[in-house]
Amino acid sequence: MEELDVAGLLDLTGIFVFAVSGALAAVRQRLDVVGMVVLAEITALGGGILRDLIIGAVPPAAFTSLGYVLTPLVASVLVFHWHPQVARLLPGVLLFDAAGLGLFCATGTIKAMDHGLSPLHAALLGVITGIGGGILRDVLSGQIPAVLYDRQLYALPAMLGAAVVAAARSLGLHGALVTAGAAVLVFGLRVLAVRYGWRTPRPRGVTD
């Protein structure tokens, strides 16, 4: 029961930080409050809904838990009133997106393995959980999804984090420390990639 409670808390934390990233993206696109709420909800819940539909956990958790819906609303209210302060304290979309990516790819992998998927397939579904909401956010806000060009390592950290979780659980290692450790690993790689301009290679001869 304690592990389930911790997992639920981590899930809500991921929802909150992804919702903040969606709401901040709406501010940058000069959307109104409706657009802000839509982007916050889609960013926070999109990947989890895809995950639950794939593993047959229907209705998805987003439609059975009031907290899943209310948490993005709280994030929207926070950003609506104090977005300059939020952006200054934790420089905008990238840090929140990195935090949400780390948490979601870890919790998504765990839920997939709990539903009987192999470690490989669970890791793949963990990546989908992590990047799904961000893809929907970018599409709705008129941007090329970051995962399609991965110039600052978006999908690659998610893959590594999900693989770490899948490997750890295959070895019988469970608990919040595994989830948090993988999330921190993803977050750190994403932030370092942004800071130092790390990127995945392009085909030979293709340049900016």
* pLDDT < 50: residue spans in the chain: 1-4
Q: Could you tell me the CA-to-CA distances from 125 to 26, 29, 130 in Å, in that order?
A: 27, 30, 9
pTM for the whole thing? 0.84
Instruction: Report yes or no: 45 and 68 within 8 Å, Cβ to Cβ.
Output: yes
SS3 category, 157:
helix
Q: Residue 60: its pLDDT value, please?
A: 92
d(Cα 6, Cα 62) in Å, to the nearest integer?
A: 18
Q: Residue 72: its pLDDT value, please?
A: 95
Q: Residue 3: its pLDDT value, please?
A: 46
DSSP 143: -
Mean of the per-residue pLDDT values of the chain: 87
Q: Where are the beta strands (DSSP E) in 40-84?
A: none
SS3 category, 149:
coil
Amino acid in the structure at residue 84: P
DSSP 206: -
